[in-house]
Amino acid sequence: MLARRTGHFVESVIRDMTRLSLKHNAINLAQGFPDFPAPLLLKQAAANAIMENFNQYSITWGAKDLRDEISRKAREYNHIEADPETEITVTCGSTEAMMASMLALINEGDEVVVFEPFYENYGPDAAVSGAVPSFVPLNDDNSIDEDTLESAFNRKTRVIILNTPNNPCGKVFTRRELKMIADLCVDNDVIAVTDEIYEYILYDNKKHISIGSLDDMKERTITISGFSKTYSVIGWRIGYALAEKNLTSAIRKVHDFLTVGAPAPLQHACVTALKFPDSYYRELASMYDGKRRFLHRALIKSGFKCKMPEGAYYVLADIPEGTGMDDMAFAKYMVSEVGVAAVPGSSFYKSEEGKHKLRFTFSKKDETLQEAAKRLAHLNA
Ligand SMILES: Cc1ncc(COP(=O)(O)O)c(C=O)c1O
């Protein structure tokens, strides 16, 4: 009775872990949502927008004042020129931007190159749009094996999905790597769909580079970002896609019939967000840097092996040796016996690699992380 496409993926394991976490009264380091408040100015801007009557549909592809601000931000921060009238679509989160892009680009059977580990949505995005994913594992040090990447491209390849900074491993793609990917896109007539939702959450002086700003890539890139992570408003569901006008016109058609539009009053509040001073972004990264170091240290002390992420707000950790449990069993043990929820690594891998890993988020208050560290310490007791 059901469409075959729904058989190709399961419900989100991340959100499932959140439910388990609530059941066991555990500290939820599974789902990447802040447990601290959104900036007061933004909350006021949202309340004002409702009181000022921005309560009906906005233009389907986004309120004009928001598209104008996104265009300015894209020019200044991403070095991408995007015409607000024809090259920007405001969506219900970057989640919708990604799905609408895939539906706009993919014909049944087209191949999509995806780096592994990957954000768990990309599998279902491929399944719903009819794409066949081709996974390219990153090396142990998160570098790219150029030969493996090159051999993933063939005549059926239509799209490569990028995510920088990466969830779950925290990799920030370098200009050299992006140039290599851009060359492959040009040579194989492939579109890069790039999820840059963590573009402001970077550590150790890493720089965010958008592949859409590289030579010859403007016409073949869809750049996706949103407000959820940078402004700690993941429940607002405002994201966007930047793309050359023919691509945008297809994305807008899909977007219109999927959702009509993103929440109008919150789009107005997001204009205020884009006017925050540079210091806001410096403080955001520095706040997360402290949390990153704290969680990393706590995990190492408790017997996990893990690298410091270069960006985003997750640590991907190897399960301590000798537990005899795979990622699923260990995640369940952690949530019920240790009182800390994490995401089983296999949510981010097609290969067996994920079975030895858990992902923890540090987008939490310091008190929450301190309590988690206390509980994690029992693992080594
Ligand atoms: C890589 C990545 N992309 C997209 C999203 C979802 O973003 P949004 O709230 O804009 O839909 C997340 C959320 O965790 C994410 O980690």
Domains of the chain, first to last: 4-38+279-380 (3.90.1150.10), 40-274 (3.40.640.10)
Average pLDDT, the chain: 96
Phi-psi region of 189 (alpha: psi -120 to 50; beta: other; left: phi over 0): left
Across the range 49-66, mean pLDDT stands at 96
Q: How far is the CA of 268 from the centre of ligand 1 (A)?
A: 21
Identify which of 71, 46, 73 has the alpha carbon closest to the alpha carbon of residue 199: 73
- Ligand 1, residue 228: give the atom nearest the CA: 9
User: Quick one: pLDDT band at residue 32, thresholds 50, 70, 90?
Assistant: confident
Q: pLDDT class for 272, splitting at 50, 70, 90? A: very high
Spacing, Cα 198 to ligand 1 middle (Å): 8
| pLDDT range class, residue 12, cuts 50, 70, 90 | confident
Nearest residue (CA) to ligand 1, atom 14: 32
Burial class (CB in 10 A: 0-12, 13-18, 19+), 380: exposed
CA-nearest residue, atom 16 of ligand 1: 167
Atom of ligand 1 nearest to the CA of 166: 1
CA distances to 90, 149, 222 from 70, rounded to whole Å, are 9, 32, 14
Quick check: 166 pLDDT over 90? yes
The reported pLDDT for the residue numbered 375 is: 96
Q: What is the mean pLDDT of residues 122-131?
A: 94
Which residue in 334, 285, 338, 332 sits closest to 313, CA to CA?
285
Residue of higher predicted confidence among 1 and 215: 215
Burial 69-86 (b: 16+ CB within 10 A, else e): bbbebbeebbebebebeb
pLDDT value at 223 more than 90: yes
In this predicted structure, the answer to whether residue 64 has a pLDDT above a threshold of 80 is yes
**Alpha carbon nearest to ligand 1 atom 13, residue:** 32
pLDDT greater than 90 at residue 10:
no
Ligand 1 centroid, distance to 331 Cα (angstroms) = 22
Q: What is the pLDDT of residue 380?
A: 77
pTM metric for this prediction: 0.97
Residues within a 6 A CB radius of ligand 1? 32, 93-95, 119, 163, 167, 195, 197, 226, 228, 234, 239
User: Ligand 1 pocket test: which of 12, 90, 91, 94 has the largest number of ligand atoms within 8 Å of its C-beta?
Assistant: 94
| 314-346 per-position pLDDT tens digit | 999 999 988 999 999 999 999 999 999 999 999
Neighbouring CB atoms inside 10 A of 175's CB total 13
To 5 degrees, how large is the angle CA 84–CA 88–CA 92? 130
CA of 324 to the centre of ligand 1 (A): 32
Whole-number Å distance between alpha carbons of 22 and 84: 42
Region 86-111: mean pLDDT is 98
Cα(276) to centroid of ligand 1, in Å?
A: 21
Work out the average pLDDT over 158-164.
98
pLDDT of residue 157: 98
Instruction: Compute, in angstroms, the gap from residue 119 CA to the centroid of ligand 1.
Output: 8
CA 95 to ligand 1 centroid distance, Å: 6
| pLDDT band with cut points at 50, 70 and 90 for residue 15 | confident
Instruction: Give, using CA atoms, the residue closest to atom 6 of ligand 1.
Output: 95
Spacing, Cα 94 to ligand 1 middle (Å): 6
Q: Which atom of ligand 1 is nearest to the CA of 237?
A: 9
What is the whole-number distance in angstroms between the Cα of residue 264 and the centre of ligand 1?
Answer: 20
> Which atom of ligand 1 lies nearest, measured to the CA of 119?
1
Residue 94 alpha carbon, nearest atom of ligand 1:
10
In angstroms, the CA 67 to CA 213 distance is 19
pLDDT band at 37 (very low <50, low <70, confident <90, very high): very high
Strands 305-306 and 111-116: unpaired
